[in-house]
Amino acid sequence: MELEIDVIDAFTDSVFKGNPAAVIITDSWLSDNMMQSIASENNLSETAFLVKYDNHSYDIRWFSPMTEIAFCGHATLASAFVLFGKNPEVRVIEFSAKAVGKLSVVKTKSGHIQMDFPNTKPEKVESIPNALKVGLSVSPSEVYRNDQAYFVVYPSESNVTEVICDNEILKKLAPYDVVVTSESSSENYDFSSRYFWPANGGDEDPVTGSIHTGLAPLWSDRLNKKDMVAYQASERGGVLHCTVKGDRVLISGTAVQYLKGRISV
């Protein structure tokens, strides 16, 4: 069986930056084992699988090299980029995913792809897990958590960029991942972050759309702003435009094509 595959760099306008994701569209679902094997072979942070169920509406599932992921922002952006490219007259695409329901994605006049996600604002943690204290070289003093991750808020952006993780220790926090964040020192961004997910996918994710559904409302309260620009300070780096609208968070970004091809499975 041959399948078409696209690899897209998401949350960037330059190849080799942002976060790469593979996108595979099929007429019906492959087996779970096959999708996991393809994702492991691709060895990207995520591979998105899409099945069309209505006009410009798709079911979507996301797989890391290790496991199926409940929610992935950058691979959703990559999927929309591929679909908009195939249907240039279309302005809105709808995805449906088991964990997050229906997701509306819009191609804006500015050229950004805007995704409409649930607000996953984290709650403050009073008792900080020991694995979080010893697994980060910069000890946390202010920590929050949602269903996805622990949020460590640092006083300085240098803490975010310089922190070193012991991922074997952070794995003990499973099923939760870890995001470190601070207000940005750059006039171009409002806040910055890095995301570590040894329990679910790898050491450090280049750019993570899903975690910004928690970061954006957290920083919205702290900065008293609804519209913010975020920078994920990984080695590849990525830029996310975030808007908090009640129980929804709009996350926008750009993407570029890296690869188009066929795989034989």
Q: What is the DSSP string of 62-93?
A: EE-SSSEES--HHHHHHHHHHHHHH-TT--EE
Please check whether residue 8 is in contact with residue 20, taking contact to mean a CB–CB distance below 8 angstroms. yes
Spatial neighbors of 31 by CB under 8 A, at least 6 apart, are none
- 89 flagged as catalytic: no
The amino acid sitting at 244 is V
Question: Which residue, chain included where needed, has tokens 């499975």?
Answer: 265
The mean pLDDT of 133-144, rounded to a whole number, is 96
Given a cut of 80, whether residue 202 has pLDDT beyond it is no
Task: Place 200 in a pLDDT band, splitting at 50, 70 and 90.
Answer: low
pLDDT at 100: 83
pLDDT at 90: 94
Helical ranges in 87-211 per DSSP H: 130-135, 157-162, 167-170
Please give the share of the chain, as a percent, with pLDDT higher than 90: 91
The mean pLDDT of 151-180, rounded to a whole number, is 96
Per-residue pLDDT tens over the stretch 55-114: 899 999 999 998 999 889 999 999 999 999 999 999 999 999 988 889 999 999 888 999
Closest CA to 83 of 110, 64, 104, 109: 104
Intervals of CATH 3.10.310.10 along the chain? 2-118+251-264, 123-246
Separation of alpha carbons 26 and 7, rounded Å: 16
Given a cut of 70, whether residue 201 has pLDDT beyond it is no
Give strand pairing partners of 61.
49
**Number of C-beta neighbours around residue 148 at 10 A:** 23
> Domain 123-246 belongs to what topology?
Diaminopimelate Epimerase; Chain A, domain 1 (3.10.310)
* Active-site residue, from 4, 46, 123, 204: 46
Which value, in Å, is the radius of gyration of the alpha carbons in the chain? 18
pLDDT at 99: 82
Per-residue pLDDT tens over the stretch 218-252: 999 999 999 999 999 999 999 999 999 999 999 99
**Number of C-beta neighbours around residue 31 at 10 A:** 8
Given a cut of 90, whether residue 153 has pLDDT beyond it is yes
Written out in words, the top-level CATH class of the domain with range 2-118+251-264 is alpha beta
Given a cut of 70, whether residue 194 has pLDDT beyond it is yes
The mean pLDDT of 32-58, rounded to a whole number, is 96
Separation of alpha carbons 61 and 139, rounded Å: 35
pTM score of the predicted model: 0.91
Please give the share of the chain, as a percent, with pLDDT higher than 70: 99
